[in-house]
Structure formats: C-alpha cells, structure tokens
Structure 1
C-alpha cells in the first residue's frame, strides 16, 4: 500500500470502531432504499486501512462481502466512488488500469495518470497486485493494447527502475539537456529514445536541473519542446512525466480542472484522482488548484457534478478551504 501522506484530506478517525461502522452501513442498506448520507459520513472519513477493518467486521457480523453489498445496492458514479474507496491503493490502481485496457479501445489517459505519477515501490506493488488479481502480467496487457514509442515509455515506467536518490550531477545534467535538444529541436525528426532514456530513468532533482539547462540551450521550456516535437499519447506521457517531476500536485490539479471544464465531466478521471489522492496529497492539490485557477476545487466540484456522487467527492475534498 502507498505510504500515507501527511497532506491528505482523509485522516484516521479517532475513536474508530469497525464493528459499529459495519452495523451502521448494514442499517443504511437494509430494507427499501439506501441511506447514502450514512455511507458517505462513514467512508469519506475513514482511511483505507480503517475501511479494510470495516470490511472484515461486516463479513463477520453479516456473513456477506461488503463490496458485493455495495454493488447490489448502489448504482452509477456513487457506486464507483464507494467501491474504489474500499480498495487498498495498489488494488485500486490495478483495477483502474485493467478497466482502461479491457474492452474496445484503451483509456490511455488512465495509463499515463497512474504510471507517470507513482513511485518505484508503488509501481512494483501495482505490478504484483495486477498479476494476483487478474492472473495476467500488466506489462503483457499494456503491450497488447498499445504500440510504438508510447508502448516503450510505458514499459520503461513499469520496470520501476527510476533512480530515486537526490544526487545531481551537474555535468551529466548539462549533457542530458544537450542530448535531448539535439534529439529534438536541433534536428529534422525526433529521436524519442533519447527523451525516454533521460525522462524515465533520472531522479527528480537531477531532472529539475536538466530542465533548467534545457531552457538555457533551447530558449524554451522542455514542455514547449515536447509539444512542438511530439503529438498524441507520446506527447501526453512525456508531458505528464515532466509535470510530475516539477510539481506532482499541480499535475493532478490540472487533470481535475480539465476533467470538469467544458462540456460535461470526465467522470472516470475525476473519480480516480479524488479516490487515489485523498489520503496522500489532496491538501497540496487543492492549494495548487486555487493558485492555478483562482477558484477552490471544492467550488468546482460542487458546480460541476450532482447527486450523492457530488456529496461524497466534496467530503473527500475536505471542505471549502
């Protein structure tokens, strides 16, 4: 499971009693109709670890799987949020990746969001969990569903081999910046492998230095060059890696904004980020959102979605400020 961040909006409930919570949830679903407010009040204010204990208590006292109960009693986006909240972090990521890959077409945005933003240990956990849950290799499934350089970038990220030290080699950073420049802006056509070698392997501090050096050489940011040199999913994945290295909460803030802006809401993106980041860095995401868009994330969610789905996301958001 991902390490708990101290920047989450969801924190451990004090005086936690899993048996009592299990009984309240059972009561909320018993008989005609479901008391969604009671479910929200409990699940949005318990950590993933606490929800696992509620699951166990429910099974002991009711003799049924809690998630199965939710699936039979709830519907639509509210069901998706609730079921997602009941999964440990690597299980939820594996589940989202599986849904992004299976069926006709692939939701590339999901592959990018998860694989570009997770640490080595998180990716290793996802790979192991995926195999256990679906009896298939995540890499094989990704390779079956993607192609070309985009596929190669995802496979590189799946190896979870990024240097995670804090060491910066100034000479190497200058060389990396020069190599990327010569592989893109300085030539006809783009040598994407050079971008992959640097962006998928080097540590965060080193890459920040590379990006500064690149700006000096190219006279523009690495992001601008990626947008000029590439397109489609390859552009998206390289931009995501760069943005996550520079400021991960800002990356998620932008994804949330785009999921709600314009015509309709991209529910899958909105749900995935709110569920997966609530316990880790939602406070930072909210802060970046306000800085970037001049509005609170809370007000954006409130204005863009409706029903119980909206209510539970607002609770995960942790209030207006």
Structure 2
C-alpha cells in the first residue's frame, strides 16, 4: 500500500512542470505514477472507501490530478468525475470535484455558480475579479465560454446594474498599466472633496494601474486624510451610491492593500463554500501567505480553525490541502 509523504520531506527534484519555492501548500507528489494511483482509486471507488479517495486526490498537484483523470478514462472508459459523484456527496463532493478542475475551470465554475439561481453572490464575484491578474481573467473568460457556451461579460452585466456594472466590467478587463503617482493621489484626494461623488474616477484609476502603484497611492491618501480609504469611501458615497458599488470599491481597495488579509477575512466566515473556494483556488499559488495572514488576524492557525469547524472526511480533505500548522 502506498504511503503519503510529508511535502516538507519530499525531494526538490520534481516533474510535471511544477516547482518548489512556490507559496502554495500543495506540491507535486514524489515518485508519482498515475497507473498505480488509478488502480488504488478504482478499488476505493468500488468499495466506497471515501477516505482513500480523499487521501490520494488531496495529495496530488493539479497537473497530477489531470493525469489521473486521463489514465482513469483510458483504463475504465469512464469519466473520473462521474465516478466520484456516485461515491461522494455534499460539501466533500464539491471540494474534490473542485480539486479535479484546472485552475481556470475552477474560477469559471465559481463565477457561474455565483450567478446561478435567484440571488447573486456578489462577494464571490468580487473575490475572483479583484484577486486575479489581467492575464488570469483573460484565461478564465476564455474557459468560461468553452465550458458554459456563454459570454462572461454579458452574464456579469445581467447580474448587476448602474455603476456596479461599470465596476464589474472594468475589473474583468483591468490592466496593470502605469500612471503618475502624485497625479493619481491629487485626483482621488480632490474627488473625495466633491459634494457630488464620482464613482467613475475611482473605477478608472483602481482598475487601470499596477497594484504596486496603487498601494503607494492609497497609503498616501490615508496619510493625507488621517483615515483608511475604506472609511473615506463609505462616508463619501453613503446615501449617494448603491450598497453594491460601495462594497465593490471597498473590496477592491482591501485586495490592493493586502490580498492575503482579504482572503483570510473571507475564510474567517468559516462558511463551507467560501472556505473551499479560497483554499482550492490558492492551494498551489499563495495559500501559505493566506495562512500567515489568517494567523495574524485571528491568533489561531488555519489548520486548527479547520479542525474545530469541520468533521470527518471533509475535514480530512481540507486539512490535507491546508497542509500544516503555522
């Protein structure tokens, strides 16, 4: 029977196009052999041995999981996702199926799910749009079209209105452009003094500049005004602009100033869908930084918080992706 090694003890000589030194928590499994894993997975799925299924799929990188799915289909003539759905259910099924998607597929899936049904999940829409780079958003838009045969921009517009629509579309098409720091500070500072708030000014600057540039601008604005930009925006726009737009602008500001703190605050809700969304999205990218931010924010490690909040196989899966105490 195969054993799962601690990723901290693994050899740095990896394949699959993944690398060490990443700030993700999930690393490629050493000595990976897709055929061996598929044999174990087939037996576990037949026995409905959920623990083994979870153990294997949470201890493989995304590239390795894609390889597993291809080999599984060749061997069994079945889609691995379909077999997983027969054995898993509820939040655990959502977690594992999310891990089986490519990163672009998963973000496209989160956006589609946030727009399905009666109400729109603006928080998830904003999380994905605010935290992803222009290139990532371009890739996600393409994948969304391929997966759902729908236009992401049109769907976002149908779920929003007014200035909030303008913000959402600007985020989808945001650029890491350049600007003049002093000029941007002066423009935003002057706008805060206007009796008639102009959301367009904030949307244009906050979605067209590189985050490093914007962090300097926002820090200087806070120094000049003696209050956080979030508080300034709330006071400036309250009663004038929609709650969704205020929420969107403040979310964008929080992500620019500290994306990892923002994600830690999202996880702090301990809502299963939110926790899974953030952890899966960032597992191979920067979850270690999110863990550090969570510890600073709450005084508790993310690993311990997950242990307290979740039980059984779902807990096993989340802890395996989280990886370790801080």
- Name the TM-score, length of structure 1 as normaliser: 0.90
Which SS does the other structure have where 1:106 is aligned?
coil
* 2:231 paired residue number: 224
Is 1:101 the equivalent of 2:115? yes
Q: Distance in 1 between matches of 2:52 and 2:82?
A: 18
Segments of structure 2 that go 5 or more residues without pairing to the other structure are 1-17
TM-superposed CA distance for 1:306, in Å, is 2.1
* 1:134 paired residue number: 148
TM-superposed CA distance for 1:181, in Å, is 2.5
Q: Distance in 2 between matches of 1:282 and 1:86?
A: 18
Q: Deviations over 1:286-312 (max 9, x none)?
A: 111111211101111111122211210
* 1:263 paired residue number: none
Which SS does the other structure have where 1:104 is aligned?
coil
Give 1:205's match in structure 2, choosing from 193, 200, 212.
212
Is 1:179 the equivalent of 2:182? no
Which SS does the other structure have where 1:116 is aligned?
helix
Q: Distance in 1 between matches of 2:57 and 2:247?
A: 33
Q: Deviations over 1:220-247 (max 9, x none)?
A: 2212212323463222222222222222
* 1:191 paired residue number: 198
Which SS does the other structure have where 1:46 is aligned?
coil
Is 1:295 the equivalent of 2:300? yes
Q: Deviations over 1:60-89 (max 9, x none)?
A: 111100001111221000000000000000
Which SS does the other structure have where 2:131 is aligned?
coil
Q: Moved runs in structure 1, 4+ residues, more than 4 A? A: none
Q: Distance in 2 between matches of 1:153 and 1:22?
A: 45
TM-superposed CA distance for 1:44, in Å, is 1.1
Name the stretch that deviates more: 38-47 or 173-182: 173-182
* 2:261 paired residue number: 250
Aligned residue pairs, count: 304
- Name the TM-score, length of structure 2 as normaliser: 0.89
Give 2:136's match in structure 1, choosing from 97, 101, 122.
122
Q: Deviations over 1:131-185 (max 9, x none)?
A: 111111100000111111111111011114332xxx6x6xx3222122223223x
* 1:144 paired residue number: 158
TM-superposed CA distance for 1:277, in Å, is 0.7
Segments of structure 1 that go 5 or more residues without pairing to the other structure are 261-265
> What is the 5 A alignment of 1:69-84?
69-84=83-98
